[in-house]
């Protein structure tokens, strides 16, 4: 990518939130790093894999052939979306609700990542994708669905939410894994997408 002259834009989001229950305090420090390249790769073919030992550390070198695609556009500063209602802390079996206010007409896809799984929040079997109207406040979920948060039997769990807004609707056919979702996001032209990240802590009692 560097040899092709493709620039890299690193977006870092950090937050420290606190919750108090009686005399107990809970803190959540979240850090999301999203590297946005002004290009992507496709047709990756592994040519050679070799291992060597460097100061008791095994180093693996991989040589590949690939096609580098350089984006012709950059992020649109006029395309922004306000997201309200996602809290830093939730108790087990809580309902997730949030509002979005887009600056222009767009579409949305959202995923929830637990410590072990990933789920598509929207669209889903009850809520079909639709055009979000500029400057309107749109509530999620609609009356048709419930986004329920589950600790999965743990005392505490950190969840991450990724919401992707698109000026036009791009299909997603991958699996609900971070790798597939990231590759899909990077495949979208930068001027057509906006990505939002959120971290929440889920506990049995709050």
| Residue pointed to by tokens 């009356």 | 143
Q: Given this model, what pLDDT does residue 39 score?
A: 55
- Could you report the per-residue pLDDT of 74-92, keeping only the tens digit for each? 789 999 999 999 999 999 9
Mean pLDDT, the chain, rounded, equals: 81
192: Cβ contacts below 8 Å, ≥ 6 apart: 73, 166, 167, 168, 170
Cis check for the bond before 68: say yes or no (omega within 30 of 0): no
What is the maximal distance between C-alpha atoms in the chain? 60
CATH architecture of 20-34+73-203: Sandwich (2.60)
Domain spans in the chain, listed from the N-terminal domain onward? 20-34+73-203
- Could you report the per-residue pLDDT of 81-137, keeping only the tens digit for each? 999 999 999 999 999 999 999 999 999 999 999 888 889 999 999 999 999 999 999
Tokens (6 digits) for 21: 């229950």
């Amino acid at each position: 990518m560097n040899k092709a002259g493709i620039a890299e834009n690193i977006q870092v989001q950090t937050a420290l939130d606190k919750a108090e229950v009686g005399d107990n305090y809970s803190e959540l420090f979240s850090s999301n790093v999203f590297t946005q390249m002004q290009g992507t790769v496709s047709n990756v073919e592994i040519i050679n894999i070799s291992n060597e030992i460097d100061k008791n550390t095994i180093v693996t070198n991989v040589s590949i052939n690939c096609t580098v695609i350089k984006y012709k556009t950059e992020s649109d500063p006029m395309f922004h979306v306000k997201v309200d209602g996602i809290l830093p802390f939730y108790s087990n079996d809580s309902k997730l609700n949030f509002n979005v206010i887009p600056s222009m007409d767009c579409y949305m896809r959202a995923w929830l990542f637990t410590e072990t799984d990933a789920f598509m929040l929207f669209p889903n079997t009850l809520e079909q994708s639709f055009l979000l109207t500029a400057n309107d406040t749109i509530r999620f979920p609609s009356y048709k669905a419930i986004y329920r948060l589950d600790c999965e039997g743990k005392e505490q769990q950190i969840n991450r939410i990724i919401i992707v807004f698109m000026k036009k609707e791009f299909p997603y056919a991958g699996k609900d894994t971070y790798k597939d979702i990231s590759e899909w996001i990077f495949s979208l032209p930068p001027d057509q997408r906006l990505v939002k990240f959120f971290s929440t802590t889920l506990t049995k009692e709050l």
